[in-house]
Chain A
Amino acid sequence: MTTLPDALGHFGPYGGRYVPETLMVALNELTAAYHEARDDETFRIELNDLLRTYVGRPTALSYAERLTERLGGARIYLKREDLAHTGAHKINNAIAQGLLARRMGKRKIFAETGAGQHGVATATVCAMLGMECTVFMGAEDVRRQSLNVFRMKLLGARVEVVESGSRTLKDAMNEAIRGWVTHVRDTYYLIGSAAGPHPYPELVRDFQSVIGREARQQILEAAGRLPDYAVACVGGGSNAIGLFHPFVEDQEVRFIGVEAAGEGLSTERHAATLSKGRPGVLHGSKSYLLQDEWGQVQEAHSISAGLDYPGVGPEHSFYKDTGRAEYVAITDREALDGFRLLSESEGIIPALEPSHAIAYVAKFAPTLPKEAILLLGLSGRGDKDINTVIEALGVG
């Protein structure tokens, strides 16, 4: 599994490249540039230096003592991506791709964003590297995440508000790809999730794997052994694949991906692609997809903008089919409970995305023996979600 994808970007039957011909040469060039950079000591040193001095890595691994006591089961460790610069794991990938873009001689960057975390991370990197940044964001997400829109503008990015379709991440990505088709010769498309056409799922996974590599070493130091479970939320799936992948050969570590069940899996309003979808093609790769009988892509729903996506990265589809990972789903309501639970018991206000993973852990940990170890990917902090939570729960 560590050797995937194949040369054309396939993870078993998933992945690949399903894009207009106009983009194919650019994707070939990106693949070549990425593989060259990956093997180049100078690139690695520069990236690691920025991850340390700018992002603030390694991020902490925190033992969640009060949460563990409260749940009364497995010992819970939090991998603290909320402590990374800009407040989420997205910066790991944005900074690496920013360096890659510079190496390829591109000064213009396009990105799509859902919750705005990837948009903020990309705008941040562009400000630091002196690049021109355009972020495509659905109008509905602009409304839900106004703080992040303001942050992006402060950082000098142009925010392109997308009014088509469900006006969320799916449509932002459509528009970003259309924009890239038009400006492919001088623009770098900086995808934020481990999705899209090859080489993005591979490249984003590799750049996010810093999460799992650190966590693996940290948990060995803290607990003296590997965890029994690694749990992370899955929208497109970049933080989950980044946490899981470095453990992929450790068969004793079970992976659990937590999707958004929205208003419930029995309703039409959810974003549980792996739980309820079937294979299809969206945004350039084959993967599980929420679609109707005719292949029209369905609108996803989640209280969390970052999980509000009808597709998922192809490697997760492969993990699902091979049984390497298990995928479960948590409702909006349960996620809000998870949000409060971590805030109250650990003094950490999580983003609504990882609140789904926390909510699952709240149900799962009590069923495990006290000596079990659970590693939870805390992908981001919750400041951006305060308005949404106030709307949902009321103030006070």
Chain B
Amino acid sequence: MSRISAAFTRSRDDGRVAVFPFLTVGYPDYDTHLALVRAMVAAGADGIELGIPFSDPLADGPTVQRASQAALAAGATPAMAIDAVRDLRAAGVEVPLILMGYCNTFLAYGEGRMVADAADAGADGFIIVDLPPEESDAMLDRCRTRGLDLVYLVAPTSDDGRIAEITQRASGFVYCVGVVGVTSARDALAAELPGFLQRLRAKTALPLVVGFGISRPEHVRALRGIADGVAVGSAIIDVVESSPRSERVKRVQDYVEVLTGRTEASV
């Protein structure tokens, strides 16, 4: 069983919504990013999305844009994302590690080389935000050959035909875009989210992970029973940005502990 499937089996057995924090590789710098990821794993994260910074992130709001720019300014590269996977595995991190980025990074690196290097380093899959199923045949073949999951996104605007097409190709989990919009921490879940998830549930047995707009423990609780996991990105970057340097790792760990339900404190 893949690490991703195993992670959902565990969280389902525990009756939990799995938590997948997102953090841009090289943000705020390479070493701090690794320390933050390890802290999030210690806080009970079920898997980690490692963001590969891109100069023109079309689906991201200001928070992830800032983190990407800061990482790039600090010299982050796609090769560094592979290094991060290798270093995290060497440090004993066992949870799924998923590389998340934009098409052009994969094209420039070489899709085949990216899949091979990521698999060798110990990554479990990819989320490519601007790669719809129509353009993904080659990448999907490469991922299947190396046993990696290519995670597709489904949006509230996706019609039934597209949902069928996507769920038929998808493996690992389906990334459900929680709002019609770009990434950012939001106060409330979209009213249409439960209906959207029901529509998906009827089409696939794959785990459903909701991302875009998730920032609070009550969001996670509200999704119990209708989704299998959440992806949280902007809200974590907000915590990093608002913490003094010496407090960053601890505050991020505290925040993720609240999301995973390890502590009850409200954030």
A-side residues, CB < 8 A to B, are 8, 16-26, 164-165, 170, 174, 177-178, 181-182, 184-185, 279-284, 286, 289, 291, 293-297
Contact = CB atoms under 8 A, between A and B. Distances in A.
Contact of B130 (A182, A281, A289, A291): A281
A18 B55 contact: no
Given A18-B135, A181-B181, 19 more contacts: A17-B132, A17-B134, A18-B132, A20-B59, A20-B129, A20-B177, A21-B132, A21-B158, A22-B59, A22-B156, A24-B158, A165-B56, A170-B56, A181-B180, A182-B182, A184-B180, A280-B107, A295-B106, A297-B56
A185 B180 CA distance: 9
Given A25-B159, A184-B157, A174 B58 contact: yes
Counting chain B CB atoms within 10 Å of each CB, the highest count among A16, A19, A185 belongs to A19
Nearest to B166: A21
A26 B107 CA distance: 26
Contact of A182 (B55, B65, B181): B181
B144 interface: no
A20 B58 contact: yes
Contacts of B79: 294
A284 B130 contact: yes
Nearest to B131: A18
Contacts of B180: 22, 181-182, 184-185
Contacts of A282: 56, 104
B239 interface: no
Contacts of B102: 281
B78 A26 contact: no
B261 interface: no
A355 B132 CA distance: 39
Contacts of A297: 55-56, 104
A281 B104 contact: yes
Contact of B56 (A25, A174, A184, A294): A174
A114 to B, nearest CB: 15
Nearest to A23: B157
B11 interface: no
B204 to A, nearest CB: 15
B63 interface: no
5 contacts: A16-B135, A25-B162, A181-B182, A182-B181, A296-B55
